């Protein structure tokens, strides 16, 4: 995955062979704690949704590489000898491996729980398109349509995922997404609602 500071990404992965990733509510909450631990040091989270067999994150990357202690139990040595650098890619991989180990131990299973490659799509790199094009009706201008902009489309797609997968009838009925934080008054700490408002994702 290629990440760049200052850009917004849709990050997602699913289970191998459609296995259940989150067997109960506690595991959903445990994975959210992992997101808080491993993703928030690198990025502002704009939207999220955990589904039984996959997850979606919408993040604004602001700190691709962070400095971490090799061994937090030791005192910091001169010249930062105890520090190492961790990229967002590293943190995502560590998060998924850590969660998988927990599930494997709990349920006496083996192997990877998630697909090998987590995907990340940049939502803010402009796509080059002609300012006009020819059609059977003549010349048509290529006018930007705000409702079609990628960040807004992705924001809505993530929140509607449980409805589209027929898990619930309304997005507010699904506990494990950021929809309730934005539209139902839940005071979740994972998403940055102020930044989402600045970007124009919601009012």
pLDDT tens for each residue of 46-93: 999 999 999 999 999 999 998 876 655 444 445 555 668 899 999 999
Is 118 inside any structural domain? Answer: yes
Give the residue numbers spanning the domain of 186: 8-199
- pLDDT at position 30 over 90: yes
pTM for the model: 0.82
Strand partners, 187: none
44 in any annotated domain = yes
DSSP secondary structure of 139-177: EEE----GGG-HHHHHHHHHHHHHHHTTS-SSGGG-SSB
Q: What is the pLDDT of residue 125?
A: 78
Whether 71 maps to a domain, the answer reads yes
Q: Is 111 left (phi over 0), alpha (psi -120 to 50) or beta?
A: left
Q: Which residues 6+ apart lie within 8 Å of 147 measured at CB?
A: none
> Residues 87-105: what's their mean pLDDT?
96
Q: Is 24 helix (H, G, I), strand (E, B) or coil?
A: coil
Whether residue 25 lies inside any domain: the answer is yes
CATH of the domain at 40: 3.30.70.1290
Within-domain flag for 70: yes
pLDDT at position 5: 95
Number of domains in the chain: 1
Please tell me which residue, 17 or 147, carries the higher pLDDT value.
Answer: 17
Task: Assess if residue 15 is contained within a domain.
Answer: yes
Confidence tier at 202 by pLDDT (50, 70, 90): confident
pLDDT at 2 (0 to 100): 85
Whether residue 105 is contained in a domain is answered as: yes
| pLDDT tens figures, 123-179 | 987 554 444 545 444 555 545 544 347 899 999 999 999 999 999 999 999 999 999
CB contact set of 194 (below 8 Å; sequence gap of 6+): none
């Amino acid at each position: 995955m290629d990440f760049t500071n200052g850009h917004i990404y849709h990050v997602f992965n699913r289970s191998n062979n459609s296995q259940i990733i989150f067997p109960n509510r506690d595991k959903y909450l445990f994975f959210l704690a992992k997101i808080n631990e491993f993703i928030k040091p690198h990025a502002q989270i704009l939207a999220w949704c955990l589904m039984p067999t996959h997850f979606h994150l919408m993040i604004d990357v602001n700190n691709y590489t962070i400095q971490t202690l090799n061994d937090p139990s030791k005192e910091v040595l001169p010249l930062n000898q105890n520090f190492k650098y961790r990229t967002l890619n590293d943190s995502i991989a560590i998060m998924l491996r850590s969660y998988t180990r927990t599930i494997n131990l709990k349920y006496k299973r083996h192997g990877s729980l998630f697909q090998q490659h987590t995907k990340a799509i940049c939502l803010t790199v402009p796509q080059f398109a002609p300012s006009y094009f020819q059609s059977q009706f003549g010349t048509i201008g290529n006018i930007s349509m705000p409702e079609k902009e990628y960040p807004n489309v992705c924001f809505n797609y993530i929140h509607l995922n449980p409805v589209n997968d027929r898990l619930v009838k309304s997005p507010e009925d699904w506990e494990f997404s950021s929809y309730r934080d934005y539209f139902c008054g839940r005071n979740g700490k994972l998403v940055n609602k102020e930044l989402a408002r600045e970007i124009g994702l919601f009012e």
